[in-house]
Amino acid sequence: MFQRILVPVDGSNTSNLALQWAVKLAKEQQAQIEVVYVIDDINLGQETGYTPDELVDALRKSGQEILRRAEALLREAGMTAATKLLEIETFGHHVADMIADEAKIWSADVIVIGTHGRRGVTHFFLGSVAERVVRIATTPVLLIRGK
């Protein structure tokens, strides 16, 4: 049923839980996994029009480290996966847009993504990448609720 599973990670416990679920699913389905991390550096400077190179470099290093930790988790589970660091290059593009686009490009059968399950004022101010992915993706989305 699922041969290609896309898993966006952000380094949180919730995204690690989603990755663990994706591993279980991949083992059951004998599927491939691609793990992605999205850097939103272009929208950081939207107010000032300026994004310091040092900040962008730090974001890239952080993303690469999160992907390395995901690879280690997969190795512990006896699996390997492709990893990809995605960077927003279009002003106004959102992290969820990048995830949905990558699912199309990679021909993913399902996106497995963690959700923090925020409600009320916290949800209003922080929003939800997972919620937006569900709304815009043409690929089925499996939401894994954090603990």
**Which pLDDT belongs to residue 26?**
97
Strand order across the beta sheet in which 110-115 lies: 82-87, 32-39, 4-8, 110-115, 141-145
Q: Which CATH number fits domain 24-116+136-145: 3.40.50.620, 3.40.50.300, 3.30.1360.70, 3.60.15.10?
A: 3.40.50.620
Q: Give per-residue burial for 62-81: e unless 16+ CB within 10 Å, then b.
A: ebeebbeebbebbeebebeb
pLDDT at 8 over 80: yes
- For the chain, the maximum distance between any two Cα atoms, rounded to a whole number of angstroms, is 48
Return the SS3 of 117. Answer: coil
pLDDT in tens, 128-138: 899 999 999 99
CA-CA distance, 13 to 92, in Å (whole number)? Answer: 27
User: What is the pTM assigned to this prediction?
Assistant: 0.88
Q: What percent of the chain has pLDDT over 90?
A: 69
Cβ atoms of residues 33 and 5 within 8 Å: yes
pLDDT in tens, 89-105: 888 889 999 999 999 99
DSSP at 79: -
pLDDT in tens, 70-84: 999 999 999 999 999
How far apart, in Å, are the Cα atoms of 48 and each of 43, 45, 57, 97?
10, 5, 18, 23
